[in-house]
């Protein structure tokens, strides 16, 4: 939090990457260790309540990596230490044998100094965390795990659109994905007002963009859509009220709303969107925002099943 009351996200993550044969990756920095792609070796730990983690779950399914990278799903709440596996029998992850993801972090870094976050990829043989750098996790699922994609996997990073897509994703991240948090966690009126204006400027830009195209980058689904989706899915249920992003609901923005419903109809998106877990996480964990921890009953999730009318 800045001195002016503006929310500042800690963007320091474990920079290790999993690459084909453990060699230099096709794109991006090499600031940490390189690990080799190996089917069955790694476990993705990702809570469906968390928007950053849900990205990785969706991309894993879109690419057909379910039998290659296993999935552990913590429950919707966490304490000051970390996310826990309360949804699993006995509260223990059945593959890693741990009660909280913190144990995998400490297995490799006993004095790990930063936040214990999801998504995280864990090396199953050692039980230690490999990386929690969420943008690179999904990027590398596409580029580095290509040999294990299913035959009809979508091209989430089309070469001819990549430069523009990077710009779109950066704006989506700073102004929308993180923008709702700047609104919700602002601790001064001035910081909130500025965050609110920035968020709605970006949402109006997206509404206009989707008036003339099916997906963010054109006619085909890309990583950019995955990154925007997790915020849209949480907007009316959480961000509109809980984070005071209340100029309009998603359901009141016709192009964004029909686009979001079309994505929800895709199994990788809809199957991994759990509105009860989402609401429980935000309304219970954020006690400074919602000190009563009361979880609202609405909105009605069946509206997501209405025809999107987009062909």
Annotated active-site positions, please? 50, 181
Grouping H, G, I as helix, E, B as strand and the rest as coil, residue 128 is: strand
Residue written as tokens 């709440």?
Answer: 77
Q: Alpha helix (H) ranges present in 48-101?
A: 51-62
DSSP letter (8 states) at residue 148: G
Q: If we measure between CA atoms, which residue out of 197, 252, 258, 263 comes closest to residue 227? A: 263
Buried b (16+ CB within 10 A) or exposed e, 124-139: beebebbbbbbbbbbb
Beta-bridge mates of residue 237: none
User: What count of other Cβ atoms lies within 10 Å of the Cβ of residue 99?
Assistant: 17
List of residues 6+ apart from 158 with CB closer than 8 A = 165, 217, 220, 222
Rounded Cα–Cα distance for residues 3 and 257 (Å): 36
Beta-bridge mates of residue 83: 78
Q: How many residues does the chain have?
A: 311
């Amino acid at each position: 939090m800045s001195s002016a009351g503006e929310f500042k996200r800690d963007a320091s993550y474990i920079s290790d990457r999993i690459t084909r044969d453990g060699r230099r990756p096709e794109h991006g920095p090499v600031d940490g260790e390189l690990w080799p792609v190996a089917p069955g070796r790694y476990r993705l730990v990702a809570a469906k309540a968390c928007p950053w983690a849900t990205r990785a779950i969706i991309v894993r399914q879109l690419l057909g990596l379910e039998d290659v990278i296993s999935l552990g799903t913590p429950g919707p709440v966490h304490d000051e230490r970390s996310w826990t596996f309360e949804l699993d029998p006995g509260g223990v992850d059945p593959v890693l044998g741990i009660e909280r993801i913190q144990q995998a972090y400490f297995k490799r870094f006993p004095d790990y100094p930063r936040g214990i976050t999801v998504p995280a990829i864990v090396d199953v043989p050692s039980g230690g965390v490999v990386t929690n750098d969420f943008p690179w996790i999904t990027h590398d699922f596409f580029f580095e795990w290509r040999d294990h994609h299913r035959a009809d996997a979508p091209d989430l990073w089309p070469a001819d659109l990549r430069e523009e897509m990077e710009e779109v994703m950066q704006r989506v991240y700073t102004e929308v994905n993180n923008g709702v948090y700047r609104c919700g966690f602002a601790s001064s009126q001035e910081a909130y007002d500025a965050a609110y204006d920035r968020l709605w400027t970006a949402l109006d830009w997206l509404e206009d963009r989707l008036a003339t195209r099916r997906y963010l980058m054109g006619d085909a689904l890309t990583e950019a859509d995955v990154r925007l989706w997790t915020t849209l899915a949480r907007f009316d249920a959480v961000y509109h009220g809980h984070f005071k992003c209340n100029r309009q609901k998603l359901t009141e923005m016709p192009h964004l709303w029909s686009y979001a419903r079309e994505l929800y109809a895709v199994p990788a998106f809809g199957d991994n969107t759990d509105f009860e877990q989402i609401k429980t996480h935000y309304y219970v964990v954020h006690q400074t925002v919602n000190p009563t921890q009361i979880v609202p009953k609405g909105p009605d999730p069946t509206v997501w099943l209405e025809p999107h009318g987009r062909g």
